[in-house]
Amino acid sequence: NLFNNLSNNWTNVTLLALVGVEFYLALKFEWASVADATTIALSILFLRTPLVSMIGSFPTLLLAKIA
């Protein structure tokens, strides 16, 4: 149970950090406009729940004993 909680928290932190890094890179190096960076960030945040559930299932899959 501890590993599942750690996995969920780590995934949330990583995805929110990804949004911050995306804004930083897009604006610092002028790779994208503010509107494009916002679109990408909102897409990441919209897909956060499916990504968290997908990544959160890894500990269960790693502990499974399947022949």
* Buried-exposed string 12-39: b where 16+ CB fall within 10 A, e elsewhere: eeebeebbeebbeebeeeeebeeeebee
pLDDT tens digits, one per residue of 2-18: 877 787 788 889 889 99
Phi, psi of 53 (to 5 degrees): -70, -35
Residue 45: which of 25, 17, 26 has the closest Cα? 17
Structure confidence at residue 67 (pLDDT):
59
For residue 36, give its domain range: 2-63
Please count the structural domains in the chain. 1
The pTM for the full model equals 0.68
Structure confidence at residue 52 (pLDDT):
79
pLDDT tens digits, one per residue of 18-51: 999 999 999 999 999 999 999 999 998 999 888 8
